[in-house]
Amino acid sequence: MNRFEGRVAVITGAARGIGFATAARLAEEGAAVAVVDLDEAAAGEAAAKLPGKSVGIGADVSDAASVDAAVARAVEELGGLHILVNNAGVTRDNLLFKMTEQDWDVVMAVHLKGAFLMTKAAQKHFVEQRYGKVVNLSSMSALGNRGQANYSAAKMGLQGLTRTLGIELGGFGINVNAVAPGFVATEMTDATAVRLGMEIDEFRRLGAEGNPLKTFGKPEDIAAAIAFLSSDEASYITGQTLYVDGGATLG
């Protein structure tokens, strides 16, 4: 498939994990990709692994000036902007009584404010050309998860943002959707295992056990869903959140 020929995609947090798998998938299908991540060198290394035209850009999605500069650079170096994937994320897990104000603020800043700032910067281009695709990374934790009051609130907040921007931007040919992954094996979940004092393989086994398909997600599983929602095959879908979780949230 070559669904993204002639398209430019900006993907945040794409130096590794789900973001990188998404960058690879879109690039394999013809997109020029801007890999945006905190560390410019890591972003550049990731971009260099992609087929086709790409650029690595160092930016902090929670900082408005940094976001505006990153989007402007992607447009200038890659010649436009058609797809935005708001994927950058962090965790600061703790039970409420131990969660600090900083734990709360950082998670809100990266996930929620980051998606707000990035989408605001991108929509100028999207509205002008009457075309754009936005995919936000929510999570199955949006439905509630012990030790993740901050993350859960941010990820459910992203679903509200997705629905609202679906309403506001639909008239301009812009689709806004979200993907809510279940357990996916990445450095983020590996770090959680280490924090809990568990072996990574055991943590992944438990992640697999928690859903009817009895398997844990790979970054490529999430990338496939993001690619679909970023493509013209999903032109009649907006404001939706697609759970990609092996059925973990079925009850």
Binding of ligand NAD by 71 (CB under 6 A): no
Residue 15, interface with ligand NAD (CB under 6 A)? yes
Residue 9 bridge partners (DSSP): 33, 83
Residues 154-213 within binding reach of ligand NAD (CB under 6 A): 181, 183-184, 186-189
243 part of the active site: no
In angstroms, give the least distance from the CB of 182 to ligand NAD. Answer: 7
The DSSP call for residue 108 is I
* Piece of the chain touching ligand NAD by CB under 6 A; list 48-56, 86-94, 97-105, 193-201: 86-94
- Quick one: which of 7, 29, 54, 62 contacts ligand NAD (CB under 6 A)? 62
Whichever of 90 and 225 has its CB closer to ligand NAD, that residue is 90
When asked if residue 87 is in the footprint of ligand NAD (CB under 6 A), the reply is yes
Q: Are 140 and 119 in contact (CB under 8 A)?
A: no
* Site size toward ligand NAD, by CB under 6 A: 26
Which helix (H) or strand (E) element contains residue 84? strand 83-86
Residue 204: strand, helix, or coil = helix
Contacts of 43 by beta carbon, 8 Å cutoff, 6+ apart: 14, 15, 35, 36, 37, 56, 57, 58
The total number of residues shown for the chain amounts to 251
Token pair in block for residue 58: 């160092």
Minimal distance, residue 132 CB to ligand NAD, in Å: 20
Select 13 or 132, whichever has its Cβ closest to ligand NAD: 13
Alpha-carbon span 182 to 216, nearest angstrom: 8
Alpha carbon distance 7, 89 (integer Å) = 24
- The answer to whether 19 contacts ligand NAD (rule: CB under 6 A) is yes
Nearer Cβ to ligand NAD (29/60): 60
Q: How far is the CB of 110 from ligand NAD (least distance, A)?
A: 4
Query: Are the beta carbons of 87 and 19 closer than 8 angstroms?
Result: yes
Q: Tell me the torsion sign for CA atoms 198, 37, 234, 240.
A: positive
Query: Cα–Cα distance between 56 and 62 in angstroms, integer?
Result: 18
Residue 44, number of CB atoms within 10 A of its CB = 17
Contact between 102 and ligand NAD per CB under 6 A:
no
Residue number with CB closer to ligand NAD (106 or 127): 106
Segment 129-148, which members bind ligand NAD (CB under 6 A)?
A: 137, 139
- Of the two residues 46 and 234, which places its CB atom closer to ligand NAD in the complex? 46
**Residues that bind ligand NAD in the complex, under the rule CB under 6 A:** 12-13, 15-19, 37-38, 60-62, 87-90, 110, 137, 139, 181, 183-184, 186-189
What are the residue numbers of the active site? 151
